[in-house]
Structure 1
Amino acid sequence: MKTLEKCVKILTLFGELNPSLSVADIASRLSLPKSTAYRYISALKVHGLIEEDTKEGDYRLGAKILELARGISGRPLQQIALPLMERLSDKTGETVILSSLRKQEGICLEKVEGHHALRVSHERGATFPLHAGASGKVLLAYLDPKEQDEIIKRVGLTKFSKTTITNPHLLKDELESIKEQGFAKSDGEVIQGTYGIGAPIFSPSRNAIAALSISAPSYRLKGKKRKRTIQLVVAAAKEITDSLEARGVQ
């Protein structure tokens, strides 16, 4: 059981902010001898859960993990959302992302690529912080205030760029504004030069269970197009919410 737990902990080290890690990184983060960490990594490699990265000595999540992540597309939420995501992508030309909570972070459930050569998006199964970026802030905004405080305290407010909100009080104000407006905006909070727009998706019991968002280079989301994109994202999220309610999907 201890071996299984260590292997799971190794897998959870990888994410949007740590797409690749060395044996030394993994050993340090889990307080393991390098030889032990390497043994666990070797076992994960055998099953395709970890693979060698293009950078010599580093490892990344393997193809089997991505295959498992794609398996979630068969769930009711994704089945309902996907055609509406495709329509939203056609209307805007941008990449559309469906995400939800996983413990104290966000996870990309599904995405539809835009038609532009230069795109901004998460991979399916990729995780991301909740305090920065449109998707994360939407997911965080609709949690109970006590849950918000716990996440902020436990995870912290890492600064990714000059626009990342790192003050807890300012973040709480931002989350309140998101609930009042019904959508979130992110102006380069995770990656400079990008702009994100996200809106909540609700279950029939009115719990925010997911976020629908668009991310793109900032220069493509300005002025009238930005306003129009906000309207389209909010409308698409509401349509998914209505479809979930009509089918009784919690």
Structure 2
Amino acid sequence: AGWLRKLPGTEKYTLGIKVFTLGRIADQGLSSCQSVRPLLEELASKTGETAILSMSDNVAAVCVDKIESSQRLKISSEIGQHFPLHAGATGFAVLLGMPEEQVREFLFRADLPSFTSKTETDPHKILERYHSLKDAGYVVSTGAVDPGVTGIAAPLFFAAENSYGSVGITMPEHRAQGEILRKAVDAVLETASAMEKKVSLAQKRGERP
């Protein structure tokens, strides 16, 4: 849904909002995202979970690439899927990469809908969480957008393109425990660092990322 839109009173179709959304993101760094796909594949392989690469469109985190988990019980995502910035790991990690001034502007101007009983919608409390997680550089969130789903994500910033994003994984809540959770956090952080370094190095060399 969202890729094509039927024109009223006709049998013709036009491009939908998802196409235009991804088009805007392409201008902001999709070439970088394409270059780091092997690292996304490695993250999915290491953790056994669905790996998601997202970029900000200024109002949400939009999935621009994903590698599905091979496990029978898994959490799936779609290219073009929107994740709220104020709730859940994928979106909140984008906020972590942004300067506080931009985060404040977003939180106190945007509509912050509730998805579950665990969704925080108070901008003051969300800002407190931003401060508490900023230094750690990652987010673990369970049930804030979808019940029974745990997400782990870290922020991305591609300086030359001035674009913000996140990389992470999603898994059923019951698997996000103990040593599995700890190793998953480490894998996400390593992937985020490797992605930023790869893009930065290519840009310094004057190469297309």
Shared fold per TM-score greater than 0.5: yes
Structure 1: which 5+ runs fail to align?
A: 1-10, 16-37, 51-60
With a CA cutoff of 8 Å and minimum separation of 6, indicate the structure with the bigger relative contact order: 2
**d(CA) in 1 for partners of 2:8 and 2:92?**
33
Equivalent residue number for residue 46 of structure 1:
12
Q: CA distance change for structure 1 residues 208 and 199 in 2, over 3 Å: closer, same or farther?
A: farther
Comparing 76-85 with 186-195, greater Cα deviation is found at 76-85
Q: Which amino acid aligns with 1:99?
A: S
Choose from 145, 154, 169 the match for 2:124: 169
Following superposition, the deviation at residue 156 of structure 1 comes to 2.4
Give the TM-score normalised by the residue count of structure 2. Answer: 0.83
Identity of aligned residues (%): 29
Structure 2, gaps ≥5 residues long:
none
Q: Between Structure 1 and Structure 2, which shows a larger proportion of helix residues?
A: 1
Q: What are the superposed Cα offsets for residues 166-205 of structure 1, whole Å, 9 maximum, x if unpaired?
A: 2222111111122110101111110111100001123256
Q: Distance in 1 between matches of 2:6 and 2:12?
A: 11
1-structure distance, mates of 2:171, 2:140: 12
Inter-partner Cα distance in structure 2 for 1:135 and 1:42? 39
Give 1:241 deviation, angstroms. 0.8
Corresponding residue for residue 247 of structure 1 = 202
**Contact 2:149-2:172 at 8 Å conserved across structures:** yes
Kindly indicate whether the alpha-carbon contact (under 8 Å) linking 1:142 and 1:208 is maintained by their aligned counterparts in 2: no
Q: What is the CA–CA distance in structure 2 between the aligned matches of 1:78 and 1:207, rounded to whole Å?
A: 13
1:119 maps to amino acid? K
What is the deviation of 1:206? 10
Q: Matches of 2:13 and 2:162 in 1, distance apart?
A: 37
Q: Could you tell me which of 182, 200, 208 is aligned with 2:137?
A: 182
Point out 4+ residue stretches in structure 1 off by more than 4 angstroms: 38-43, 204-208
How many residue pairs get matched? 200
Question: Of 61, 69, 73, which aligns to 1:106?
Answer: 61
Aligned twin of 1:143: 98
